[in-house]
């Protein structure tokens, strides 16, 4: 009986030792140290999907044991926002550490509106005339000058982002719309018509362009 008790005690001790060793090894693998960055991290909006690499915010770590993620609002531009880097255990997908930084995605160029059509429209051409066929509307990159086309919409709607518990930001969806003589539809009768084109790049910058078009009947 005494031998059985000793065997049981030995087994329990061995199990406890193994569990402690496993936890120590797991703890060691999951050790991570975040870098201290006091200044606001600034990136260009063109590069916002590739510019943030979570690995840049931590010291050496075990890639087989730890998975890193970054979290921020990709559509919030020209306003400071939190950037959260999280460390997740590869074993149980548990987030065991995270750190918050400050991020600014900047955009310094307004969308561009170009009209390449006639200023005088002949009545015979009216059935084939579509204003958007002569409009080139696009956002433009700050660094690459690459053009990002904006599509024509009936209206531009807003989305709300919560910056904090008491602060919100409204961002208009990307696109452009136009008004003809103050109306959302263009019925070009004979005479002079005033057209306003409104473009929004989807992250806070807008442009407007006014056109004066003349319709001639003959």
Token pair of 67 as six digits? 């998975």
Q: Examine the domain organization and report whether 121 and 204 are in the same domain.
A: yes
pLDDT of amino acid 13: 46
Instruction: Look at the block and give the residue holding tokens 């059935």.
Output: 127
Domain that holds residue 77: 33-106
Which domain-ending residue is among 85, 106, 127? 106
Which domain-ending residue is among 106, 133, 150? 106
pLDDT of amino acid 165: 64
The tally of domains found in the chain comes to 3
pLDDT of amino acid 101: 96
pLDDT of amino acid 167: 67
Q: Examine the domain organization and report whether 65 and 10 are in the same domain.
A: no
Which domain-ending residue is among 106, 128, 157? 106
Q: With a cut of 50, which residues of the chain have pLDDT below it? A: 2, 4-6, 8-10, 12-29
- The Cβ-side half-sphere exposure at 59, using a 13 Å CA radius, reads 7
Give the Cα separation of 173 and 159 in Å (integer). 7
pLDDT of amino acid 212: 94
Q: Examine the domain organization and report whether 125 and 203 are in the same domain.
A: yes
Query: What are the residues whose beta carbons fall under 8 Å from the beta carbon of 117, sequence distance 6 or more?
Result: 129, 131, 133, 134, 135
Q: Examine the domain organization and report whether 126 and 175 are in the same domain.
A: yes
pLDDT of amino acid 160: 76
Q: Examine the domain organization and report whether 144 and 69 are in the same domain.
A: no
Is 2 strand, coil or helix? helix
Give the Cα separation of 188 and 214 in Å (integer). 9
Q: Examine the domain organization and report whether 127 and 198 are in the same domain.
A: yes
* pTM, 2 dp: 0.68
Query: What are the residues whose beta carbons fall under 8 Å from the beta carbon of 143, sequence distance 6 or more?
Result: 44, 46, 47
Q: Examine the domain organization and report whether 120 and 208 are in the same domain.
A: yes
Q: Examine the domain organization and report whether 197 and 133 are in the same domain.
A: yes
3-state helix, strand, coil in the chain (%, to 5): 20, 40, 40
The kind and range of the H/E element at 24 are helix 2-29
Q: Examine the domain organization and report whether 212 and 116 are in the same domain.
A: yes
Q: Examine the domain organization and report whether 135 and 164 are in the same domain.
A: yes
Q: Examine the domain organization and report whether 201 and 123 are in the same domain.
A: yes
pLDDT of amino acid 173: 84
Q: Examine the domain organization and report whether 54 and 96 are in the same domain.
A: yes
């Amino acid at each position: 009986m005494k031998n059985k008790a000793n065997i049981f005690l030995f087994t329990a001790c061995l199990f406890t030792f193994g569990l402690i060793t496993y936890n120590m090894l797991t703890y060691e693998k999951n050790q991570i140290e975040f870098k201290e960055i006091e200044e606001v991290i600034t990136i260009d909006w063109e590069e916002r999907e590739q510019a943030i690499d979570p690995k840049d915010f931590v010291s050496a770590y075990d890639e087989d044991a730890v998975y890193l993620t970054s979290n921020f609002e990709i559509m919030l531009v020209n306003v400071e926002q939190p950037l959260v880097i999280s460390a997740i255990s590869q074993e149980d997908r548990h987030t065991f550490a995270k750190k918050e930084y400050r991020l600014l995605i900047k955009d310094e160029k307004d969308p561009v509106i170009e009209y390449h059509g006639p200023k005088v429209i002949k009545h015979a051409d009216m059935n084939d005339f579509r204003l958007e066929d002569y409009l080139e509307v696009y956002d433009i990159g700050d660094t690459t000058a690459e053009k990002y086309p904006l599509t024509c919409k009936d209206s531009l709607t807003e989305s709300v982002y919560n910056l904090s518990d008491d602060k919100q930001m409204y961002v208009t969806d990307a696109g452009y719309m136009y008004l003809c003589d103050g109306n959302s539809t263009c019925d070009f009768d004979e005479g002079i018509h005033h057209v306003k084109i409104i473009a929004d790049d989807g992250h806070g910058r807008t442009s407007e362009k006014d056109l004066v078009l003349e319709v001639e009947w003959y």
